[in-house]
Structure 1
Amino acid sequence: MTDKKIVKNREPYQQAYYPPMPTRFVRYMRTSVVWQFVRFWIINYKIFKLLVKSAH
C-alpha cells in the first residue's frame, strides 16, 4: 500500500524544461581565445600559490 503522488504539471515542452540561452557577451567570453588565455594564467597562478603554501 504505497501512496504515490501524481504530478500533473509535467507537460512536455514547457519553458521550465529548457535551459536559459546565453547572452551574446557570455558566448563571446566562452569562445574568445584571449579571455581563455587570461583565465588559463589566472588559474595556474592560483594553483602555484597553493603549491608554494603547501611546501612550507
Structure 2
Amino acid sequence: MPADAFSAGGAAPEAVRISLGAVPERARLASALDTLAGLLRESPRALHDVV
C-alpha cells in the first residue's frame, strides 16, 4: 500500500507502519514491540532479512 494512504494530508514518507490496536493482550503487544526494538538495534543488514 502506498505511504500516502496513511497520511491525512500531504506526502508521507515510505516507511514501516505498525498497528497497535489489533493485539488483544498487552503482554503479547509488549513482547512484539520488544522484538521489533531488538531488530532495530541490530545492524542494517539484519533489517533487510526481516519480512
Interval containing the TM-score (normalised by the shorter chain): 0.3 to 0.5
TM-score, normalising length: structure 2: 0.35
RCO comparison, higher one (Cα < 8 Å, 6+): 2
Bigger Rg, which one: 1
- Between Structure 1 and Structure 2, the one with more helix by share is 1
TM-score, normalising length: structure 1: 0.33
